[in-house]
Amino acid sequence: MRAALIARQFDVPGRLVTIEPYGSGNVNDTYLAIFRTTFDEKRFVVQRIRKAVFPEPEAIMHNMRVITDHCHAKLEAEAEGADRIWQLPKIIPTRDGGDWVVDADGDLWRAISQIASAQAHERVLGPEHAQEVGIVLGHFHRMVSDIDPARLKVALPGFHVTPGYLARLDAAKDSPIGRERLAESPEAALALRFVEARRGVCPVLEDAVAAGRLERRVMHGDPKVGNVMIDEATGKGTCIVDLDTVQAGLVHYDIGDALRSACNPAGEDAPDLGGVAFDTDLCESIWRGYLGQAREFLGEGDRDLLFACVHLIPLELGIRFLADHLAGDTYFKIRYPGHNLRRARVQFRLVESIEARESAIRRIFERR
C-alpha cells in the first residue's frame, strides 16, 4: 500500500502497526497511521495533496509552515492566561529533515500531528457546540491577524473568487458533456436557471475589495464544522484543522462558510431538500462566540457586508458543485452518479432559506 510506504519515510519512532483511511474530506486522501515501540504509541495523520487539485502543493506547505510556526509561538506565549489549552497541528518532518515526500506520480505527501482526545462533528450538535465553532474560528482569525498576508503564497488560485467560479460554470455548461447532462436532467437545467437569476450578486465581495471597502487578510478557507475539533473532556473547541486553503483572502469568506456549514442541520448531503433550512438560532450562537474573539479587528466596513457573505458563500459552493457535475465530476470526490448535482441543489435550497430570513440574519449581525 502506497500510504504505508510513505508513512515510513517520516521521522516517527517505532514500527508501523496500521494505516487506515481517516476523515471525510472531499479532495485529499487522508490516513491515520499508528506506530509503536516497546513502550509507546504514536498516532499521526498522513495526507496526499493531489496536484490535479493544488497545482503548487509546495505553496500549501510553505503557508502551513508560516501559520503553524507563528501560531504555536503565540499560543505558548498566551497559554497561562487562556481559558483552555489551544492547539494546532504540527508538521512532522521526514527522516531527512524535509516537510514532505513526493511520490512517483508527483503528488506531495505530508505528515501532521493528530489532535488527541478531541473530535470533529459533521453537523452542529446544538447551541453550545455552535458557539464553540464561532469561538474557534474567531480565535484562529485573531491568532493570524498580525501576519502580513504578503508572506503567504497562493495555495489555490482563484479560490473564493465567485465570478471565477461562475465563469467555470459557463464553460462547463457549453462543453459536450455539460450539454449532454443538461439535456438529460431537468434538475440540472433548473439549477442552472437558479444561478442565472442570481448572477448579479456574485461579484459583491470582490467589488467591495476593488472599491477599498474590504481588505485581504489571512483566511482559513475551509472553516466548516467538520474542521473544528472539540475537546472530549471539556466540550470546548481546541483548534481548527485542514490548513490547505490558508492564504490571503477575506475573513468574510470564512464567516460565510462557517455559517453555511453549521446553520444547515440537514448537512451537505441532505436526503430530503425539504429539511434544508438556515437556522438563525445557531447563527446567533456562532456569531456570539466569534465576536468574543474578533471584536478587536472587525471594523464597521467589515460588518456592512456580513449578510452578503452569508448569502454568497452557499451560492458559490452550489455553483462549484454544479460546474463540476457539468464538467464530468473532475474535482470533488463523488459517491454516486449525480452526487455533485445533489450537493448543488442542497446549497441552492439553503440560499433560498437565507433569502427568506434576511431581516432576522441582519438583526443578529447588528448586535455588538
pLDDT in tens, 5-38: 999 999 999 999 999 998 765 567 899 999 999 9
- pLDDT value at residue 50: 82
What pLDDT, on the 0 to 100 scale, is given for residue 26?
54
Is residue 27 within 8 Å of 333, Cβ to Cβ? yes
Is the pTM of the predicted complex or chain greater than 0.85?
yes
Cα 358 from Cα 356, distance rounded (Å):
6
214-262: per-residue pLDDT in tens? 999 999 999 999 999 999 999 999 999 999 999 999 999 999 999 999 9
Residue 56 to residues 28, 52, 66, 152, 341, Cα–Cα distance (Å): 14, 9, 16, 13, 28
Q: What is the pLDDT of residue 179?
A: 97
Domain with CATH 3.90.1200.10 in the chain: 115-366
What is the model's pLDDT at position 296?
83
User: 46 - beta bridge partners?
Assistant: 31, 111
Q: Decide which of 3.40.50.1820, 3.30.200.20, 1.10.3720.10, 3.40.50.1000 is the CATH code for 1-54+89-114.
A: 3.30.200.20
Domain ranges in the chain with CATH number 3.30.200.20: 1-54+89-114
> What pLDDT, on the 0 to 100 scale, is given for residue 126?
94
Query: What's the mean pLDDT in 288-317?
Result: 92
Q: For residues 302 and 213, is the Cβ–Cβ distance under 8 A? A: no
Architecture field, domain 115-366: Alpha-Beta Complex (3.90)
* CA–CA dist 241, 243 (Å, integer): 6
